Structure 1
Amino acid sequence: MPSAVVSSQGAVSALRFGRLAAMGTVAVLILIAGVWASWGTAHHVMLTKGRESGTISVTRCGQDTCSGPYTPVSAGSRARKSVVIEKNVAVRKGQTYTVVIKPGGDEVVRSGPAGVLYAWVPLGGALLLASVVVAGGLRRTRLAWVMAGLGTVLLTAAFAVI
């Protein structure tokens, strides 16, 4: 009978390892997706050296975008009659925002603390989602609470600044 006990313990260990591997992979993929989604905008806002920066005065808003004249602030930047910014809860007609121009066009993204925090909002959501996987699938509650706390702080800060 001892061989049945040993094989049962081996099966339990294999299942536990499989659960840890699967849930760890899911958590890591969620975090990678959050960074990937954030980095598309964040690198324009955070790595501003050599980029044109200035302000946009929003004069028109459509369904998905807003536009207005661009006033340069950085050396080498030129004024533009109209640039386009993504329409979201943080952009309102009649307001002026500091922006950075994306290379190769007339599309801009918000800069400064508001732009940085807004760019990292997808990572904040990914941290919250991954914390559930870490708590339930990996049974690492302390780590899950830290991840959830960081995600909540990031989202709250972005909401407060915007």
Structure 2
Amino acid sequence: MPSAVTSSQGVLAVLRFGRVVAMGTVTALILIAGVWASWGTAQHVMLTKGRESGTVEVARCGEDVCAGPYTPMSAGSRARDEVVIEKSVAVVKGQTYTVVVKPGSDDVVRSGPAGILYAWVPLGGALLLASVVVAGGLRRTRVAWVMAGAGVALLTAAFVAI
């Protein structure tokens, strides 16, 4: 006949396992969302083979986007009277930026180290958020500190590069 102590230890083990599974799932979802949000831009900046690259001189800015003429730098790229780049703190009217054209459109994204770092900013935020879940829910403080450090490093590098 099982004793009350053995029964309560079994319940605690099941609850502990459930917490680890739940918090592990939440952590994985946060990190997957960060990669997913970053990859939409990062793929154009990192996988540049066969893509049009050049420069854009920002001539005007609206609420969400800026636009200007595109000057090609790569073979096979064509000049455009106007391309659109997402307006952010990194885009200033009157400045010229190196960019990559998104295939099949007149939308461009910044290229080079600044563009790569800026594209991965959502992952940096996800690392910071996931570190809190890892520390509190999984009780893995060292892993959480490493994740938080990586997130802060990524965000700081993007800030400095831009």
Calculate the TM-score normalised by the size of structure 1: 0.99
Residues 42-121 of structure 1 mapped to structure 2, 5 A cutoff: 42-121=42-121
Q: What code does the residue aligned with 1:33 have?
A: A
Inter-partner Cα distance in structure 1 for 2:34 and 2:78: 34
Matching residue of 2:39: 39
Inter-partner Cα distance in structure 2 for 1:101 and 1:45: 9
* Partner SS state of residue 69, structure 1: strand
Q: Post-superposition shift, 1:4?
A: 1.1
Q: Post-superposition shift, 1:2?
A: 5.2
Inter-partner Cα distance in structure 2 for 1:2 and 1:136: 33
Matching residue of 2:134: 134
Inter-partner Cα distance in structure 2 for 1:153 and 1:61: 30
Inter-partner Cα distance in structure 1 for 2:32 and 2:138: 18
Unpaired runs of at least 5, structure 2:
none
Moved over 2 A (4+): none
Q: Percent same amino acid among aligned pairs?
A: 81
Q: What code does the residue aligned with 1:37 have?
A: A
* Partner SS state of residue 3, structure 2: helix
Q: What code does the residue aligned with 1:81 have?
A: D
Unpaired runs of at least 5, structure 1:
none
Matching residue of 1:22: 22
Aligned length: 162
Inter-partner Cα distance in structure 2 for 1:2 and 1:69: 79
Q: What code does the residue aligned with 1:85 have?
A: I
Q: Post-superposition shift, 1:3?
A: 1.7
Q: What is the alpha-carbon root mean square deviation over aligned residues?
A: 0.8
Calculate the TM-score normalised by the size of structure 2: 0.99
